[in-house]
Amino acid sequence: MKIIYHENYNIDVGIFKFLHPFDGCKFSKVRAALNDADIIAPQGPIAEDAILSSLNELLKIQIKDKAALCRALEIPKIPFLSFSWLDSRILSPMRWGVAGTLIASRLALGGDDAWNLAGGYHHASPHRMEGFCIYNDIGISYQQLIASGELTADDKILIIDIDAHHGNGNARTFHENKNVTLLDVYNADIYPNDPVSRRRVDIAVPLPSGTGGELYLNKLSAALEQLSSGYKLAFVVAGTDVLATDPLGGLSLSVAEVAQSHKLVYQRLKALHIPTVFLGGGGYGKDSAAAMVAGIKAVSAMD
């Protein structure tokens, strides 16, 4: 398992830590705990034209607008925070994260499964940025790989979303593309309550708040059993906000159970011979970095 990481992934908001519960520097903690891992760094952030070509006309304008960005980032519109501050401190790290997803995809297609510590911005779509997600990294990577001929429009793609939140942005990005299969395990009692995007999910596992690890893992296993082979590439949005200690996810898994969920997913994808890209996704609590490390170690031991 190759690990994709760059120090520029880290979101350091300095004294503005109160703006969001996200530990923006958790990527460096995960990196530090993976001292013997095979780390590959993106050479730069994703190109602006790659981002712009993934957006509709309205979003091309909104993405430059401070008020719209503050709404999407779920932070108050503070007058002295400038667009350039937001861009350099928060958006630029995300653009590095998108580049990481594209690199991870290329590695997986070449035979090396990869885990991008960032990315998994599954609430963003070509029409809308929301839920601390500005760029839909899977959609942008898919578009770039089609443009370069590394994928064709007929290739079957799989997205497995085990972040606590429903991946409405991915569902909307690929709403009309039936070559993309969506499997989504999510807390149905929390954001985003989006009936249109929920209906797009091919294999849906909606769970009530408070669901613990045993039931979660049983339901995940049953969902994975429904998958067949023939996919050119699988993306796994491996958000760790399913942890009981997460302030936003509302589910109740332990660190070991999160690692087990990653293992179950990878076991199934390996059995089906599907090249795999894991992505960071959400994770806002004190144990998020530890769960990512445990998951990465669990799946790396399977290679």
User: Which chain residues interact with Zn ion by CB under 5 A?
Assistant: 163-165, 239, 241, 282
237 closest CA partner among 147, 172, 164, 179: 164
Residue 50 vs 290, nearer CB to Zn ion: 290
Residue 164 vs 182, nearer CB to Zn ion: 164
Residue 130 vs 163, nearer CB to Zn ion: 163
Residue-level length of the chain: 303
Strand ranges (DSSP E) for the chain?
2-4, 39-40, 114-116, 157-161, 180-187, 203-207, 233-237, 276-279
Strand, coil or helix: 114: strand
**Which residues partner with 277 through β-bridges?**
114, 235
Least Cβ distance, residue 11 to Zn ion (angstroms): 16
Residue 227 vs 279, nearer CB to Zn ion: 279
Least Cβ distance, residue 156 to Zn ion (angstroms): 26
Task: Return d(Cα 122, Cα 119) in angstroms, integer.
Answer: 8
Least Cβ distance, residue 246 to Zn ion (angstroms): 8
Task: Return d(Cα 177, Cα 157) in angstroms, integer.
Answer: 10
Least Cβ distance, residue 164 to Zn ion (angstroms): 5
Looking only at Cα atoms, what is the longest distance across the chain?
Answer: 53
Least Cβ distance, residue 182 to Zn ion (angstroms): 15
Terminal Cα-to-Cα distance of the chain (whole angstroms) = 7
Least Cβ distance, residue 278 to Zn ion (angstroms): 15
DSSP letter (8 states) at residue 212: B
CB atoms within 10 A of CB 211: 22
Contact assessment for residue 176 and residue 154, using Cβ atoms and an 8 Å cutoff? no
Residue 5 vs 121, nearer CB to Zn ion: 121
Shortest-Cβ-distance residue relative to Zn ion: 282
Residue 163 vs 257, nearer CB to Zn ion: 163
